[in-house]
Amino acid sequence: MEQQTVVVTGGAGFIGSHLCERLVADGHRVISLDNYFTGSVDNHVAGVEYREGHTKDIATHVPEAVDIVFHLGEYARTEKSFEDIEVAWDLNKPGTFAVLEFARRRDCKLVYAGSSTKFADGGDGRDQSPYAWMKATNTELVKNYGEWFGLNYAIAYFYNAYGPRELTGSFGTVVGIYNQLYQNNQPLSITAPGTQSRNFTHVSDIVAGLVLVAEHGQGDGYGIGADQSFSIAELAALYDCPTVSLPARAGTRMQAGVDNTKVKALGWRQQHRLDTYVSEYIANTPQLPAHEQRVLVFTTTFVPDAGPAEWALVDLMQALPEVQFDVITTVFSEQGRTPTDLGDNIHIHRVGKGSVFDKYWLPLSGARVARQLQAKHSYIFAWSLFASYGALAAQLSRHTDVPLLVTLADQRLRSIPWYLRFVLRFILGDADQIHADDTREAKTAISLSKRTKLVRSIGRGDAFASQLRFAYSNFLRQRFDNKKK
């Protein structure tokens, strides 16, 4: 391309930052618009003009005349979109509409990053998740803008990008997650059935394809994906290290065969192979010392005094016999004293005297037990099932090397009396990561403490914790579904 002014939405993200790097190297003026939901200042590239904001406000943030818009700045996770449907809608619907209007009114070319999920499983992937449906309908809207208004556009589809700057936490990609688990000497998690296949494509190959599509592409159908496919089990085998099995997730697609005919007709050729990349990563990445596969759990009540959230936790722990779980909870009632044979990897540490008032003593007595356990064991992370008395016990026993994950499960923060919110500010404000299956609850959690970030890394336990949390969310949904029947 001759020198042009180019806008990259999501320019501080994984793929966007690599695209910006290439465009700057080619001599273009590059403007990045990113809301930093998953983007990072660590991905900034010298020579790029960075502007922070939502894509629905693109006309305000980019007043200049523009030649090309690469629209990569959307919510981009399949399974997690079940949790984040409001966030996904906000980022992927009004944002994309505004970008289309921007391109139409400025008379510039739009290169839209579609999602290959709509081609999965013979086309059934289109409706398998909120994310897949939103992306599929967005491509239809882009094509309609071409028909209605003569918009100059091209739609490209990425197939499982991997490479430098991948995310590893709750928004992580599988190769990035496996890289971190390998480096931390932790087992690789294989989501059932493990035979689901993907055409893993290096980010440099994707960027090369995007540039060709911008120069010569017109219309739909530019699949940018590697020729080879690997199952998740085959990918894990490349690392030659221990694995653990996790239950299947909602929205998981089994096959995503690539059609890269049109981009090849523009001159694109795959330059990188996944197996070579993994081999080089292993050769150049020393592993940390082996770490005990153990999780410290805090919950105010536990089986047999349990609801769907606690039973879902039992489901998860029984599905992972390779991982040890220390559960700090209350006696709570005489029933709570009854031994329950849950599995050899579940170790229950009860405090209290068998009263509903046990929960008030849990922050102090539970913290004492937690400190004793942390003196004996090393933990991947600590996990509080709720933002409650168990979470307070977790905070009072904090060990600097043990990150804290708080899940809100079926908790409703908005129903909590105002006078308890100052306690929650302490609990949530110091947590390393917070997750809620309900988007509104997540937003409430954030409002309680500006210091808390939903996607903040929890260090060494980040990738492993995210995999367990996804599995837990599935078990919780199953428990609620069974309860409704």
**The predicted structure's pLDDT at residue 429:** 63
End-to-end CA distance of the chain: 59
Backbone angles phi and psi of 161, in degrees to 5: -65, 145
SS3 of residue 97 by DSSP:
helix
Tokens 């356990």 appear where?
A: 373
- C-beta atoms surrounding 236 within 10 Å: 22
For 29-57, what is each residue's pLDDT tens digit?
999 999 988 888 999 999 999 999 999 99
The distance from CA 340 to its chain's CA centroid, rounded to whole angstroms, is: 34
Q: Is the pLDDT of residue 159 over 60?
A: yes
Rounded Cα distance between 353 and 358, Å, is 7
Nearest to 451 by CA among 436, 466, 437, 431: 431
pTM: 0.78
SS3 of residue 81 by DSSP:
helix
For 11-32, what is each residue's pLDDT tens digit?
999 999 999 999 999 999 999 9
Q: Is the pLDDT of residue 162 over 70?
A: yes
For 276-290, what is each residue's pLDDT tens digit?
999 999 999 999 887
| Domains observed in the chain | 5-161+199-228+251-271 (3.40.50.720), 294-477 (3.40.50.2000)
β partners of residue 59: none
For 392-424, what is each residue's pLDDT tens digit?
898 888 766 778 888 776 556 566 665 566 666
For 416-462, what is each residue's pLDDT tens digit?
665 566 666 666 666 666 666 555 555 565 555 443 344 445 455 66
Q: Are the C-beta atoms of 81 and 434 separated by less than 8 Å? A: no
β partners of residue 405: 383, 433
